[in-house]
Amino acid sequence: MTDRIVLAYSGGLDTSVAIGWIAEATGSEVVAVAVDVGQGGESLETVRQRALDCGAVEAYVADARDEFAEQYCMPTLKTNALYMDAYPLVSAISRPVITKHLVAAAQQFGASTVAHGCTGKGNDQVRFEVGIQTLGPELKCIAPVRDLALTRDKAIEYAERNELPIETTKSNPFSIDQNVWGRAVETGFLEDIWNGPTKDVYDYTEDPAFPPAPDVVTITFEAGVPTAIDGRAVTALEAIEELNRRAGAQGVGRIDIVEDRLVGIKSREIYEAPGAMALIAAHKELENITLEREQARFKKTVDQRWTELVYDGQWFSPLKRSLDTFVEDTQRHVSGEIRLRLHAGTAVVEGRRSETSLYDFNLATYDTGDAFDQSSARGFIDIFGLSAKVASEREQRLHGKPDLSAVDSLEQ
């Protein structure tokens, strides 16, 4: 029986050429796997037929938009995940769901190897292959661009020579990856980090310099997940899509960053994530009023480590799974409404309310009705500062009082 290789298939030039290229280089049959995570463009049926026309013996297609939104985007939202405080893991969280379907297809069609279209310089090769090794330890991995020397020039020549049903062009200078959580753009003139992005870089967002009238939106959350927008019930996918449209119209979610890749290279990336950034802004503020102080402080540490693990391709790792358990516990009371004002590239919280809020008006107010016993503050301060006071007395006893003359001169 001829060996089979499962290929992560996008429907574009490189992966279409890779079908025949892999077959010729390995003597194996190729099964194409296309997974819709909200990237838009052609229908899955069109992509499936193209894969068959390019030589695939089978074509596995999956509409994973709801799965991606619920099982990958929502955990990312619950951790307020921003790699290097900026990047909302647009590509990083799509790789695990694609990997899951690649392994399922390999098992369904009896393939021994999984192939992907990543280069040897990026993060995605790690994300795919670590995920494949974890979910299907018996499977081997190959990357035609990295392992079989499939360059873009060779891909175009191969497609033209074999009359493949795919557009061949060198005109687009960018490498683009997109899904419902956002859009990533790199290469071309962007590799010179002094160059500013031009308007043709963007697709999900309008120019924030010329915004329409402000758009005020109320987002309802239950246990950390958006469940309604302006009072209308929505699924996770619908929430992201609507905020992509509304926040995108205001230019929210444009990100330009020089990013530390896992492989050790610094890379200039442009991201658009209007829905993701608006939802994260709202979710963070709701956590501000519903999480206890020490829990909130520690969660920031967990959020950062979770983000680093996912960026580094460790979605299926034991540590990430353990952190998920902690994050889920913190979200039990993250329910309520956040009112956001979307305008000119910003998503600003204007109002918040929650039945599970820890904000107590009677404790916070300075007006009549103040329920806080201010007389208890003196004793609290004495105890809170006691260890520092004792240490300071020791220093002064052994080394003399500190020189405060510089402070005196500043005051004069």
CA angle at 100 for the pair 263 and 43, rounded to the nearest 5°? 100
Residue 102 phi/psi, 5-degree rounding, is -65, -45
Q: Indicate the residue type of 317.
A: S
Positions at the binding site for L-citrulline: 87, 123, 127, 175, 259, 271
Positions at the binding site for ATP: 8-16, 117
Cross-strand bridge partners of residue 186: 175
The helix/strand count (H/E) of the chain reads as 16, 14
Closest by CA to 267, choosing from 192, 205, 203, is 192
The DSSP bridge pattern shows strands 232-233 and 336-343 to be unpaired
- Return d(Cα 66, Cα 53) in angstroms, integer: 28
Positions at the binding site for L-aspartate: 119, 123-124
Closest by CA to 130, choosing from 262, 306, 283, 274, is 262
Distance between first and last Cα of the chain: 91
Residue numbers annotated as active site: 14, 95, 124, 175
> Would you say 279 and 218 are in contact if contact means Cβ atoms under 8 Å apart?
no
